[in-house]
Amino acid sequence: MDSASTPADGDGEKPPHAVCMPFPAQGHVTPMMKLAKILHSKGFHITFVNTEYNHRRLFRVRGVDALAGLPGFRFATIPDGLPPCDADATQDAAAICQSTMTTCLPHFKSLLAGLNRSPSVPPVTCVVTDEGLTFGVDAAEDLGVPCALLWTASACGSLGYRHYRLFIDKGIVPLKDAEQLTNGFLDTPVGWALGMSKHARIRDFPSFLRTTNRDDVMLNYVLYETDHMADADATIYNTFDELEQPALDALRAALTPAAVYTVGPLNLLAESLVPADGPLDAISSSLWREDDPGLGWLDGRAPRSVVYVNYGSIAVMSSQQLVEFAWGLAGSGHAFLWVVRPDLVTTGGEAAALPPEFLEASWCPQEAVLRHEVVGLFLTHSGWNSTLESLSGGVPMLSWPFFAEQPTNSLYKRVEWGVAMEVGGDVRREAVEGKIREAMGREKGKAMRKRVVEWRESAA
């Protein structure tokens, strides 16, 4: 355990103690940290649990001070079951999902038992784990305390995952052969999916169902975790009812009697409840070293004139795709700020593929960028944190979904919420350039901007 001890309150009354554990990927750590800070601001003692791999990443990026904790906010770690590695990159999705599902429960139970034996912290009163770590439900039950799951993605994505078993029962999944990935089969409408958009096709559901193997690791991980969600006492969704009402209605029916709470967007809730420039500001969840020049580079430019580009913490692309995006951006005639992670490119390297002037930043404070008045469009992988932050900032989007529920988010942004367009998976510079020009100044772009401003007001 990595922190200073925190005694109980001086008057003898012990605060409630929430143990919060995110799935070990940046897109999950960020919202869990926001929720933990919100609970701390409401009087909870917090133990925030990272895997040892991510703990080491945070130490290298943030230093010991970021992990020292504060009175009432401590850090702890458990192993993830994978071989030791010090790479500064998100671990392989299938490997970490399989490992956490099969190896982490005894380590987490041991941690909870140790916390309850410690005289320096209050007894554990609840467990809050990621929806992808439902072993937390079993650990909490063993301890005799309630467990809430934080679903860090969209409600429509959650509902999409819950349909996986129906896809199997109907004989659609696993796919008959690999040709179905490219012959138009994925464009088959899915009109029978309760609560989902009437425009949904097979390709718009979370991507792990695109497999020819019934024993696929990710397919079975999703089946196990979504089935186990119903055993939790509550599920917390990082969304708001006005945005995803049909999906939330279907989820509430499916998860009964467990409670379903909508507390999003967590970025706005944390901003309103956690004091700015307070002691919690010293605690960061970013697994990447942030570059400050990005924000300064934006200052002084014309309002809504800049395209912001960030494909999140997991999405990867080929060197050729990187080049096509780059020349599409350059050809659009609009200035752009592009975040290029060190591990973004799967073949070759980004430095070899692009001139140095393209590399504006390796990571930056995205929420601040999206609230900057000069940003007029967000080219994004359509992860849920990015989607909510863009809606909160009133910035329309151009989507290039990569995997998981990102295709579902992209569908909803385009046809249900009217705030985005999509770049096809077969990236071509002419298409990128044309979509940017359309989104930044033509009629479609104006309509998107009007809708996203309405959603920003609703989110607030």
Q: Catalogue the active-site residues.
A: 28, 130
Q: Is the dihedral of CA 274, 278, 280, 282 positive or negative?
A: positive
Among 18, 28, 17, 83, which residue's Cα sits nearest to residue 50?
28
Rounded CA separation 281/42 (Å): 16
Could you tell me if 54 and 82 are in contact, meaning their C-beta atoms sit under 8 angstroms apart? no
**Best CA proximity match to 250, nearest among 193, 294, 206, 290:** 193
Tokens (6 digits) for 286: 């970013």
Which tokens in the block code for residue 90? Answer: 């998100």
> What span, in angstroms and rounded, lies between the C-alpha atoms of 208 and 221?
10
Q: What is the DSSP letter of 56?
A: H
Q: Which two tokens stand for residue 204?
A: 């718009």
CA distance 241 to 231: 23
- The identity of residue 243, as a single letter, is L
Beta-bridge partners for 338: 309
Take residue 397 and report the two structure tokens written for it. Answer: 């989007």
Paired tokens of 57:
């990443």
Alpha-carbon distance of 207 to 408, in angstroms, equals: 9
Sheet bearing 17-21, strands edge to edge: 73-78, 45-51, 17-21, 126-130, 147-151, 234-237, 259-262
What are the tokens at 129?
């784990």
**At 272, phi and psi to the nearest 5?**
-85, -25
